[in-house]
């Protein structure tokens, strides 16, 4: 997993409408880049709704929120519509961006090992450098920590 002080890897991914989004599009603004395993599952829905509920204050602080999962654009579109998500969801179907950030790793459930997304968040400063990294995020209270870090930039 990348660490604070590292230059954020650039990327281009399709959003929930299939339009390409580049990290470079947000140069000069703080970016909250959060990786989550799957649309419309309990933990991921809670995390997305927490970011939704605090989106206005994050936006007021100048931050852009981008959610990333291996789900495709169509599934992201349904998820965003169902929960009225005001921020962009990016489809990393080949998990290349997750790998670049170190958010794609071996996991295990019920003794079975598999590769998947490690729920993690990266705060990219306006200069394109990682200002803060949250590996293995616990959803409850996470958005509050992110808000504090954005405010401190």
> Which sequence positions are flagged as catalytic?
44
CB contact at 8 A, 136 and 118: yes
**Who contacts 140 (Cβ-Cβ below 8 Å, separation ≥6)?**
46
CA-based R_g, the chain, Å: 14
Secondary structure class of 25 (helix, strand, coil)? helix
**Of 11, 28, 15, which is closest to residue 62 (Cα–Cα)?**
28
User: Given the structure tokens 């993690």, which residue do they identify?
Assistant: 120
């Amino acid at each position: 997993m990348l660490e604070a002080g590292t230059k954020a890897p650039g990327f281009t991914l399709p959003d929930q409408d299939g339009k390409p989004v580049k990290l470079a599009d947000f140069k000069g603004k703080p970016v909250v880049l959060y990786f989550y395993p799957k649309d419309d599952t309990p933990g991921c829905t809670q995390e997305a709704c927490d970011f939704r509920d605090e989106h206005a204050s994050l936006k007021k602080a100048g931050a852009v929120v981008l959610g990333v999962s291996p789900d495709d654009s169509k599934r992201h579109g349904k998820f965003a519509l169902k929960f009225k998500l005001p921020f962009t969801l990016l489809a990393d179907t080949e998990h290349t961006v997750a790998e670049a950030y170190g958010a794609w790793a071996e996991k295990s459930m019920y003794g079975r090992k598999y590769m998947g997304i490690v729920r993690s968040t990266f705060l990219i400063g306006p200069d394109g450098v990682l200002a803060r990294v949250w590996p293995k995020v616990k959803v409850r209270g996470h958005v509050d920590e992110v808000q504090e870090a954005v405010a401190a930039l």
